[in-house]
Amino acid sequence: MSESFQNRDDPAVPSSAHGTHLAQGLVAVFNRACDMGDSEIAKRLLTTLECMLTRDTTTPVLSAPETTACLAAARERFSPLLTGQRIPRRDHAAIWRVECGQ
């Protein structure tokens, strides 16, 4: 069994580290979609990220304040796409570390 699973009773429940890695990937792809101005894909990825970070689980990906900050940053990044504005590129790894508590 993979080390990424923490709950031995239910191997379908990923560990926090696994969830964090998956969320980092979503944030990176979300930011790339924003960079490219693809509002449809960015919106779907934002919805997926919101679902992942706010679902009820025994191993949350982030703490409640970190989740709030991460989602606020993602929504702020997405909002210019709604008005057709281009978004300047940002350092995606820095976004995750600073705004998403990593």
Q: What is the pLDDT of residue 53?
A: 87
The crossing angle, in degrees rounded to 10, of helices 39-54 and 16-36 is 160
**Maximum CA pair distance of the chain?**
48
pTM (2 decimals)? 0.68
Sign of CA dihedral 98, 34, 77, 46: negative
User: What DSSP letter does each residue of 87-99 carry, written as one string?
Assistant: -----HHHHHHHH
62: its two tokens = 């982030």
Rounded average pLDDT per 10-residue block, the chain, 102 residues:
44 63 87 89 94 81 84 89 72 56 54
